[in-house]
Amino acid sequence: MSGPGRRPDGSYIFGDHVIVPARVAAAITRQSPLREWSIAKRGIDPELDVVLSDLKTAGLRWVSSHGGTEHAEPAEPAPQSVWMTTTQVARQLQITGRAVRKAIAERRLEADKVNGQWLVRRESCEHWRTIRAA
């Protein structure tokens, strides 16, 4: 068969290897029950496991680089931790880490020492920011 953009049969065969274009890998992984089959056969043939994993990876890379994710839901922002390190507090307040540790030592900023590291509650940081601004 021939047509625009179609390569002749056998052009993807190199010795005993087949080269699969990433666009084709994306179509195979999206339109076939390959995932279920690879899960069912996992561990039987290590080479097969690697090839199927690489096929999936190539397909995903192609989709993400060619705007194939336009229907994906936007990612939710990661929830902020309740705790902040002294470095995070310093960065947020635009002061040095030493100034943060000094405020903790002088009990102007509430903090807990966990595994040898000072952790500050986010609300304590905001409270201290308000006090410093006044």
Q: Which long-range contacts (CB under 8 A, 24 or more apart) does 50-54 make?
A: none
- What is the C-alpha to C-alpha distance for residues 37 and 111, in angstroms, rounded to an integer? 52
Say whether pLDDT at 70 is over 50: no
Mean pLDDT in residue range 72-90: 81
In tens, the pLDDT along 98-123 reads: 999 999 999 999 999 988 999 999 99
Look at residue 120 and give its three-state secondary structure: strand
Backbone angles phi, psi at 84, to 5 degrees: -130, 145
Element (H, E) at 69: none
CATH architecture under which domain 83-133 falls: Orthogonal Bundle (1.10)
